[in-house]
Structure 1
Amino acid sequence: MPDIPDHPEKSEPAASKEADLLSFKLTGRPIPLDEVSSEFRLMRDCLKKPLTAEVATRICEKSGSHLIKLVSPRVDGDHAVLRFDDPEANRKSSILPSVNAPDIPFCKVVYRPLEVIGHPSLSVVDHILNPDEHSSPVLDAFAEVFGKDILETMRDAFLSEPKTPLKLGAGEFPIIFIPRLGGGDLQITPVSPAPAFMGMKRMIDPYFQKAQPDGPRPPRGRWTRHAVSSKPQNISGAIGGPRIRFLATMPPAMHQGEAELYRYVHGGGFPRWRDDEVSIWVLRYADMLEADTTYNNEDTRAALDRTADRLIRDASEFILDTLEDAKNFAERHRINEESIPEPPSVAQILIRRPWGKDQNYDRARKALTSPHFEDRLRKSRIVQEARA
């Protein structure tokens, strides 16, 4: 969302150097709405030549949402601009100029974000393409200083279809062939939106910040920046710094256990206990419980207890080990341990596994909710508390 200056005091903007008046970026000069014309006069006085209808037409015709020169600087200037609007949006797309160097100062007049007090910071181009409630007085002030013919020329050029590029420079353009519906192939060349260049630059800057002793840990990744042009003003004066191509290498894929631990530390489900022997012992315990209803003695009862105790002990150790791993992971990555959810119960740990046939699942669930298993769980907790 555009910046909205909030300065209650009204003061005449002090005349400053040209860089503070002609710019593609915010200048830090809040302006009362009724004094915008004064700001335009200061900007006009910085121009070494007048802004004519011919210049305005040239600026508009060479402004677009996609600049083909970003792919190759050898593109002919008359075939370097595309203008697309999102068909699902109710606003026209942002555009940038791609003009020759002598026209850049004029672009810095019409593309400068005006910081009108109490309103979003918008340029003259923004007010023409996507007018809002304070666009009319701003455009009237522009026409008062530069002429109504200039404003109408810009309106006609920006609100009509731009010229269609008819040729591309050779060498750098990727070519992709896709099948046509009626047969044959269609050749296409992808071109990125012009504002994406500075957007990408702002996005990757934090990855190269130096870590501060008491500050948050900067994001990191394997990034390589390669400057392929030191004169981006030949493409667009609104693009600052060298053009950059980068290589982002994805980190290796996590193993299943690592992924589950990562998800758990960030509030997800508890990792599964992936030991195939557990299913065998749970079903064996279920068989022993069924046999105990018809035949039991001291030896079979002791074996039943030992089997339940083994399942409880091993599951409890898995829970404790996983919690320890989760706390270590959270400490390494500076994650608040309070975000780690409570672990599931022993019975839930034992039942969360593929059982193959539904009847095996039913047998396992019945065994793990049996009075005998509940009794062994209770005695196990009593023993643990006594040892503690």
Structure 2
Amino acid sequence: MSDTIIKVENLGKKYILGHQKEGSSNYVALRDVIAEGTKSLIESFYNPKSKVQKNTEEFWALQDVSFEVKRGEVIGIIGRNGAGKSTLLKILSRITEPTTGKIEIGGRIASLLEVGTGFHPELTGRENIYLNGAILGMSREEIKRKFDEIVAFAEVEKFLDTPVKRYSSGMYVRLAFAVAAHLEPEILIVDEVLAVGDAAFQKKCLGKMGDVAKKEGRTVLFVSHNLAAVRNLCSVGILLSSGKLFLHSDINSVADKYLLDMFEGTSFSRKNSGTRFMRVSLKDEHNKDLKILGIEQKAYLNFKVFIANYKEDLNVGFTLYKNDIPVLSASALDSLQKLPKESSELKIQLPVHLLTTGDYRVEGAIWDQNQIYHQDDYLTSFRVERNSFLETRGANYRGIIALTADWIVDSDKKNVINQ
């Protein structure tokens, strides 16, 4: 059996765009519609080859796109707005037909492309779960077996028998994602729709997609502008530009290329001139990626930065947050004075022994005295798990900083007793 689950060959999608004639108003009378229709009919009779009216234009949302997806891969699809990402997913989901090319899909697909996809607004949440399962080709018994998991994940128990047209957008997406992820499709397709949910829900969904891909071995296609989430979840990336496939490679190479050129026009062929972060990662002393840190572990934040025009007062810095509370900050002003080239790498060791158990995110900025060149509130994230000897004996570190300094014990017991 072939290991390829999706094969796309020379895929293209063309739309005909209509344009309002110059000098015409928004108001159109019935006589104008009849006159225009009669005129078009006469023109097509005398000139049958003229199929496209003069006030229309061809637009290729996708053109000559070819790639393969292996079974169990997690693919991140990135690109600017209008690059063709959503059009590609709609074709793969069989929502719309391609104009040219062909696709071969070797498995059942569940899609979450926009709020309301696949749901009937007049039906209740319960009824829509069974409806979506039936559309995916699952039996009633299979859906019933997964039903409790779906409801628990979506957190809509109280509204299960309410028509979904009365749901908030967040409730709608929670239920839609729960159905798509739990009804055991071979291929899960998720668009930027997750941005509708709050931070806790997004984290929950990303964790579920990770489980679907890594533990259950299913294929995931994920579109998002959150590059940190894409890097963490995906192993392979596809970069689209103006409807064409620009790069298909490992996710870090694709994300770096996207960041390198995102500030320049609409073409990926020109060199970027914007000072910015190109990549931020957390590594151990052997340069291996880290996501969970132990108390005794050495960890380094690695910053790859692009400096367009170096200035003496240029600064690079970051702030570490826990639960949106700033924990510590650091600046690289002194270290930047001897940058060897425009694209440079900086790293700093984190004081892991001072951090309490929990999830952290890194916010960064590049600035000088006059302006901020680049600021990002989510460069990367990680978790600290304190497994120290003290915690195994019941020590409880609260707050943000865990002070591990030695206590000074007063050995003069007489003074203590007398007081």
TM-score normalised by structure 2 residue count: 0.19
TM-score normalised by structure 1 residue count: 0.20
Structure richer in helix, relative to its length: 1
Greater Rg over alpha carbons, structure: 1
